[in-house]
Amino acid sequence: MTAKLSPRTIGPFTVSPIGLGCMNLSHAYLPRPTPDQAERLLRHALDQGVDFFDTAALYGFGANEELLGRTIMDRRDAFVLASKCVLGGQNGQRGIDGSPEAITATLEDSLRRLKVDHIDLYYLHRLDPKVPIEDSVGALSRAVEAGKIGAIGLSEMSAATLRRAHAVHPIAAMQTEYSPWSRNAEVAVLDACGDLGVGFVAFSPVARGVLAGGVGPQGVDREDVRSGMPRFHNPHLDHNLGLAAQFRAIAQDAGCTMAQLSLAWVLSRRPFVTAIPGTTSIAHLDENMATLSLDFTDATFAKVDALFAFGAVSGPRYSKAAQAQIDTETWDGEPLE
């Protein structure tokens, strides 16, 4: 098969199968680019046909939205713009607030930082356990009616929550981590998206850099967000890098890079899956986009499936504290601490 499938549908929008996750231009991963480097990458992405840009109020506590606002809004008609609320900064710390009042205030801040009067796709970044999902979605439905957003999305939520939310207002997209080494979406959410006609947006589709060859035995900087994830510490890291080495061999046999194989595998799972890899490198962005011109066999994807069967990856996906902030399903026997 070829990874160059038909464009993907997300609510009322049609986008290329590969978009751009903008988080690590301002937030979480290290090393971080300079503002000039980040701006050049964003403009280059547009030139290369990227038509789906994903940001959030959390990223850089507003800095990422400001970056997009000053860099690419002169070409606003060329792309679908997505951002997120609920998860953000509270007194300089990361916090969750899914109340309608907070959602309304965050949206106004996002519009201001992005220098727009309309955001195409606006996500609830996390489920606030203190607020019924119906109330949070209700706030966004009123924003749709007011013309401030075009469609509603959810992030890192379960199939059950998706169905509850969808009963209040049509949900356009579910965004969740999805790659060969993080397959929780296959437990229930992908099926629910298929049932409801909801697009699925895969973040970290190259396994937070591991399946792009971007993480070595030394791990990551202690200030990098991945340093708080058990999979990036030994004994888990050594085991997982062994899997990555086997994955590299499969990619070499297929005549592509590791990142291209990971992206192609993700896109092959369902026709409504869109991937949003992040990068700070123009060369890596071009490598990612070149995936769409490559051909892959079902046998190659079967090797990836077998290598990364449930239970193959060592260590929890998140720390115990971070795991408590997500609503996604876990697979039977998944380690959580």
Structure tokens at 16: 């290329």
Residue 111 CA to residue 118 CA, distance in Å, equals 7
Tell me the per-residue pLDDT of 51-66, one tens digit each, with 9 for 90 and over.
Answer: 999 999 999 999 999 9
Helices 189-196 and 159-168 sit at what angle, rounded to 10 degrees? 30
Q: Is the peptide bond before 180 cis (omega within 30 degrees of 0)?
A: no
147 in a structural domain: yes
pLDDT score for 333: 87
Helices 298-307 and 258-269 sit at what angle, rounded to 10 degrees? 100
- As a whole number, mean pLDDT of residues 35-50 equals 97
260 in a structural domain: no
Evaluate the CA torsion angle 72, 74, 79, 81 in order and state its sign: positive
318 in a structural domain: no
For the annotated catalytic residues, the residue numbers are: 59
156 in a structural domain: yes
pLDDT band at 39, cuts 50/70/90? Answer: very high
- Give the rounded percent of residues in the chain with a pLDDT score beyond 90: 93
Tell me the per-residue pLDDT of 211-259, one tens digit each, with 9 for 90 and over.
Answer: 999 999 999 999 999 999 999 999 999 999 999 999 999 999 999 999 9
Q: In the 8-state DSSP scheme, what is residue 2?
A: B
Residue 64 CA to residue 84 CA, distance in Å, equals 12
pLDDT band at 89, cuts 50/70/90? Answer: confident
- As a whole number, mean pLDDT of residues 297-305 equals 97
Tell me the per-residue pLDDT of 154-206, one tens digit each, with 9 for 90 and over.
Answer: 999 999 999 999 999 999 999 999 999 999 999 999 999 999 999 999 999 99
Residue 251 CA to residue 59 CA, distance in Å, equals 32
What is the average pLDDT score of the chain? Answer: 95
Residue 88 CA to residue 316 CA, distance in Å, equals 24
Does residue 1 surpass a pLDDT of 50?
A: no
125 in a structural domain: yes
pLDDT score for 87: 93
String of b and e for 135-163 (b: at least 16 CB within 10 Å)?
A: ebbbbbbebeeeebbbbbbbbbbbbebbe
Amino acid (1-letter code) at residue 51: D
Count how many domains the chain has: 1
pLDDT score for 2: 46
CATH label of the domain that carries residue 16: 3.20.20.100
198 in a structural domain: yes
Does residue 3 surpass a pLDDT of 90?
A: no
User: CA 316 from chain center: how many Å?
Assistant: 18
Residue 232 CA to residue 227 CA, distance in Å, equals 6
- Identify the three-state secondary structure at position 9: strand
pLDDT score for 208: 97
213 in a structural domain: no
Does residue 278 surpass a pLDDT of 70?
A: yes
Beta bridge partners of 275: 18, 202
Q: What is the pTM of this model?
A: 0.96
140 in a structural domain: yes
Does residue 4 surpass a pLDDT of 80?
A: no
Residue 110 domain boundaries: 9-208+266-294
Q: In the 8-state DSSP scheme, what is residue 182?
A: B
